[in-house]
Amino acid sequence: MRTIRKTIIMGILNLTPDSFSDGGAYYNVDLALERANTMILQGADIIDVGGESTRPGAEKVHSDEEWERLRDVLTQFRKDKRITVSVDTYKSSVASKAISAGVRIINDVWGGMKDPEMIPLIASSDCKYIWTYNNETPIFNNVIDDLNQWTERIIIECSKRGMDSDRLWIDPGIGFNKSHVQNMQILAGLQNYCSNFKDYNVVLGTSRKSVIGNILKVPPSDRLEGSLCTVALGVSAGVSVVRVHDVLQTKRTCEMTEAILAYS
């Protein structure tokens, strides 16, 4: 048997009224704390907290309002030593306040493209940074080549700013401004991607997304099986982190996949 690294599980906690799957479900401090506690007991290693929906067509939120949604929850989370928190934001002003509040992971779904101050901010801190492959301009060329080129660019940029591989996590960005075919091509190429960037933690966020709904023809609430399939695929391919809604089922899927891989 060989030793298989335990997959890190990020549990999604949306403090928003309009997220695509669970918008409005945890839209106050007490409900958010209860949900976070449940996810920790189910096996979440990180709670990824978001104050603005990133679904296609979602209404933009001013940084002040986004921080208002996050502030009290993060204050409570800081008191619970079990909770490692990630904040899902592309705004450096929100990220700066989150870091001051004790957050040590910033999950930027725009990969620094929306706010040029984001990467310098992270580089000057001791925070980890999740960079996501995303682009407002449609990708017309080979999506795999484009993904690899953008990943190489961000690695070079962050390295020049003093961020080592442990602090930079990379996310191929399933669902963000990509066609269904492009999403499927990235999923099919995960093993090569993880191999190409083996010194970096690769994050996979597919939970309940439209790439699953397009195939299964079901709404977000019925996409568990499809989500777990992509998790198993990702763990087999070498991803280090999975970002999910359904923590308990994902935890079991990861453990089973890891157990099989130990004999490979």
* Residue in 35, 69, 97, 209 annotated catalytic: 209
* Concatenated DSSP letters of the chain: ----PPPEEEEEEE--S--TTTTTTT-SHHHHHHHHHHHHHHT-SEEEEESS--STTPPP--HHHHHHHHHHHHHHHTT-TT--EEEE-S-HHHHHHHHHTT--EEEETTTTSS-TTHHHHHHTSS-EEEEE---SS---S-HHHHHHHHHHHHHHHHHHTT--TTTEEEE--TTSS--HHHHHHHHHTHHHHHHHTTTSEEEE--TT-HHHHHHH---GGG-HHHHHHHHHHHHHHT-SEEEES-HHHHHHHHHHHHHHHTT-
* Residue in 35, 128, 243, 251 annotated catalytic: 243
Q: How far apart are CA 105 and CA 96, in angstroms?
A: 11
Sign of CA dihedral 110, 111, 117, 122: positive
Residue 217 a catalytic site member: no
Residue 209 a catalytic site member: yes
Q: Which residues are catalytic?
A: 209, 243
